[in-house]
Amino acid sequence: MRLRIAGCGLRISVPEGHRILAGGETTGTGRNVESRPGRALDRSFGLSPFQGWKSLCADTPVVSPPANIRSASGAEEDFLERYRSIFNSAIRNPQSAIKKSAIRNLALLIVASLLFACADSASSSKPSVENTPAQKARAETDDKASAFDGMRAFNHVKAQVEFGPRPAGSPAIERTREYIVRELKGYGLKTTLDEFAENTPLGKIKFKNVIAELPGESPNVVIIASHYDTKPFKEFNFVGANDGGSSTGALLEIARIMAADNQIRGLKRKFTYWFVFFDGEEAFCREWDECLNGNDHTYGSRHMVERLKKEKQLGRVKAMILLDMIGDKDLTVPREEGSSQWLVEAIWGTARQIGHAKEFPDRPFSVGDDDHMPFLRAGVPAVDLIDFEYGSSPEANDYWHTKEDTLDKISPVSLKIIGDVILLSLPSIEMQIR
């Protein structure tokens, strides 16, 4: 569907075989320094629903639109700015014939909402919206941002923090996992749990990786991943708002956007995508390499690589993108030296193109180890996006693995930057995969 508002004119163009639904609620220092180198589909867009609009069909009453639409001044530009995305996401393939009266009623409501502004425009020479400076500015920035909703990702972080500390094997991580699975299934994604048990310094622990699949034209796979566990501490409550929470919140929102693109807009990706939430990334011992001959960490990612090898499926995985600690208000994600160079160039190049060179500085950094390393060691190209300058001053990291890793340090703006960079870099990444 397309909306065009110019002066007092309004044109709604709806593709044949579609209908309009009014939305609404349906029910430079590596890690080794310290210790380690149902939402239903209609609700999955992060948009404000039309309050009280339950149907636009002729057989159901239609109540007035919200007052902020009815009385808006400067209505055309305001209206298009605030509601274009809602209309774009409200197209569905019907199971029955299109009800033309629904479209007619919608048009009448929109026209009514613009009458106040149109009265003033009759005696003026106001240019059409598409020619205003604001509209031109929007057009110029359309390719510099995605539909990623930073506040929605932030709310996912908040939900995790409210579960409390979430070490592997804990009741809190089970609640977190249920939350993640519920969200992913609400996006219409096939979601599975990969359960396994491993010996740890605390004995045998059960882990569960969460994997959601978005089918593409090719069975070959690109993985976008995060870990969702938090490091266990006896001395204090470690809620891991940034370390574990931020990347998981961002990955949920990336999955939602990509699922909506596929299911609603009909945009099928060239490759199949796996959204993977690793369990057991954090070490149980204080130091990363302290226990189990240096293997007390990355349980989930190491297990996934070994399982894919055993099933002879690892060759399908063409790239792996890892998010870790990416919610800091003072976001700084330098180039991780151990990562595959072509993936680094694709992602940091996109960041520069869309105006985020400050947050993605062109300087090297080595994390030492993380969930991308098992994939790299197995020959899979991988990249780690991690902000290891998480502290009380620039370049400090004194919030990491402390009680200070709390929700007030997390920024929806930073989450949005990460989401935009990842989503907008995917075409470049896909083009380079052979």
The DSSP code sequence of 84-134 is HHHHHTTEE--SS---HHHHHHHHHHHHHHHHHHHHHHTTS-PPPGGGSHH
- Domain finish residue from 123, 143, 163: 143
Residue 209 falls inside a structural domain: yes
One domain for residues 289 and 251:
yes
Whether the CB-CB separation of 237 and 296 falls below 8 Å is answered with no
Q: How far, in Å, CA of 26 to CA of 20, rounded?
A: 16
Residue with tokens 């004194």: 398
Q: Which pair of structure tokens corresponds to residue 45? A: 């867009």
The per-residue pLDDT for 206 is: 97
Which H helix or E strand runs over 218? strand 218-227
The per-residue pLDDT for 140 is: 41
Residue 72 falls inside a structural domain: yes
* CATH number of domain containing 262: 3.40.630.10
The per-residue pLDDT for 143 is: 73
Burial 192-203 (b: 16+ CB within 10 A, else e): eebebebebeee
- Domain finish residue from 109, 127, 143: 143
Query: Secondary structure of the chain: what % helix, strand, coil (to 5)?
Result: 40, 15, 45
The residue among 178, 183, 304 whose CA lies nearest residue 249 is: 183
Backbone φ and ψ for 91, nearest 5 degrees, come out as -80, 135
Residue 32 falls inside a structural domain: no
pLDDT by residue (tens digit) across 218-269? 999 999 999 999 999 999 999 999 999 999 999 999 999 999 998 888 889 9
Amino acid at 118: C
One domain for residues 18 and 131:
yes
- Collect all residues with Cβ–Cβ distance below 8 Å to 234 and sequence separation of at least 6: none
Backbone φ and ψ for 432, nearest 5 degrees, come out as -90, -5
pLDDT surpassing 50 at residue 1: no
Question: Mean per-residue pLDDT for 79-100?
Answer: 40
As a whole number of Å, the end-to-end CA separation of the chain is 35
Residue 312 falls inside a structural domain: yes
One domain for residues 106 and 168:
no
One domain for residues 43 and 167:
no
Tell me the C-alpha to C-alpha distance, in Å, between residue 390 and each of 154, 222, 329: 17, 28, 9
pLDDT surpassing 90 at residue 13: no
Question: Mean per-residue pLDDT for 62-86?
Answer: 39
One domain for residues 96 and 160:
no
One domain for residues 134 and 192:
no
One domain for residues 280 and 161:
yes
CB atoms closer than 10 angstroms to residue 124? 8
Tell me the C-alpha to C-alpha distance, in Å, between residue 24 and each of 21, 42, 240: 9, 7, 33
Question: Mean per-residue pLDDT for 287-305?
Answer: 94
Q: How far, in Å, CA of 370 to CA of 323, rounded?
A: 10
- Domain finish residue from 143, 176, 192: 143
One domain for residues 95 and 157:
no
Stated pTM of the model: 0.70
pLDDT surpassing 70 at residue 323: yes
Residue 326 falls inside a structural domain: yes
Residue 33 falls inside a structural domain: no
The band of 142, judged by pLDDT with boundaries at 50, 70 and 90, is low
Residue 305 falls inside a structural domain: yes
pLDDT by residue (tens digit) across 331-378? 999 999 999 999 999 999 999 999 999 999 999 999 989 999 999 999
Residue 387 falls inside a structural domain: yes
The per-residue pLDDT for 101 is: 43
Average pLDDT taken over every residue of the chain: 77
Could you list the residue range(s) of the whole structural domain that residue 9 is in?
2-27+38-143
One domain for residues 261 and 402:
yes
Q: How far, in Å, CA of 157 to CA of 145, rounded?
A: 21
One domain for residues 136 and 164:
no
The per-residue pLDDT for 132 is: 39
One domain for residues 222 and 132:
no
* Structural domain total, the chain: 2
The residue among 364, 356, 352 whose CA lies nearest residue 331 is: 356
One domain for residues 137 and 47:
yes
Residue with tokens 């929700």: 407
